[in-house]
Chain A
C-alpha cells in the first residue's frame, strides 16, 4: 500500500481483556517497529522486526505484551490482561533496512477502562 496502515484506529478495552493491534507496513519494507506513546510523552520503543525475525524486544514493558510478524509483512501487537497503564497510542513504523527515515502509521489509540 501507499503507507503504513494500522487498525483499529481506536480501541476501548475493559481491564483484564486481551487486545490485538494490527500493522500493515509499506510493501517491501523489511524493518518494522512498534512504539508506545503515552499522553504528553514522546514515542517509546517497544520492539523491532527484520522480516519475520524479532531482533529486539527490549522495550516490551511486561510479558503481557507480545508481538509477531510471521510472514515478514503484517505484524500484530497483542496485549494480554490489559491494565489502565496500557492506555496509550500504539504506533507502528516501517523502513528499508539501514534507513532511519521511518514511515509511521496513524496509530491505534487504546483506552483501558
Chain B
C-alpha cells in the first residue's frame, strides 16, 4: 500500500539550529516525492520536489530509496520557517493526474 509517514507531529528548535523533518514512504515503484508547506493563515504551497534537486529557502531533501526516506533539512533554522510541513508522494500514473498521498504533517516551531 502507498503510505507516507511523518513520525513527528511537532518539532521545536531554536533559531540558528539545524532542522531535519523526517519522512518515510511505502511505495512499490518509482515515486515522485514532494514537500509542501503551510504558513499560518496561508494556503498549502509546494516547497520542493525531489526530481528538480533544488534548494528552496535553504531547505534541501534527498531521496534515499534504500531507506525509503525523503527527509527535509535546513542547516540554520529561521523564525519565519515556523509552519506546517507535509511530505507527499505521487504515483505518477497519468490518468490519475499525479494524485498526491500526504503524510500527517509536522509542525515546525522555531523559537528566538
Contact = CB atoms under 8 A, between A and B. Distances in A.
Interface of A: 3, 31, 33, 40-45, 48, 50, 55-56, 59, 91, 95, 97-107
Contacts of A41: 104-105
A45 B102 CA distance: 9
Q: Name the 10 nearest CB pairs between A and B, nearest first.
A: A42-B102, A104-B44, A100-B98, A31-B97, A48-B97, A101-B46, A45-B99, A104-B43, A106-B43, A56-B96
A91 B99 CA distance: 13
Contacts of A43: 44, 86, 100, 102
A29 B96 CA distance: 15
B95 interface: yes
B50 to A, nearest CB: 11
A55 B103 contact: no
Contacts of B104: 40-42
A7 to B, nearest CB: 14
Given A42-B86, A100-B32, A50 B43 contact: no
A91 B97 contact: no
A34 to B, nearest CB: 10
A111 B95 CA distance: 32
Of A3, A41, A91, A101, chain B has the most CB atoms within 10 Å of the CB of: A101
Contacts of A102: 46, 100
25 contacts: A31-B98, A33-B97, A33-B99, A41-B105, A42-B86, A42-B102, A42-B105, A43-B86, A45-B100, A45-B101, A55-B96, A55-B97, A56-B95, A56-B97, A91-B44, A95-B97, A95-B98, A98-B94, A100-B49, A100-B90, A100-B92, A100-B100, A102-B100, A104-B45, A106-B43
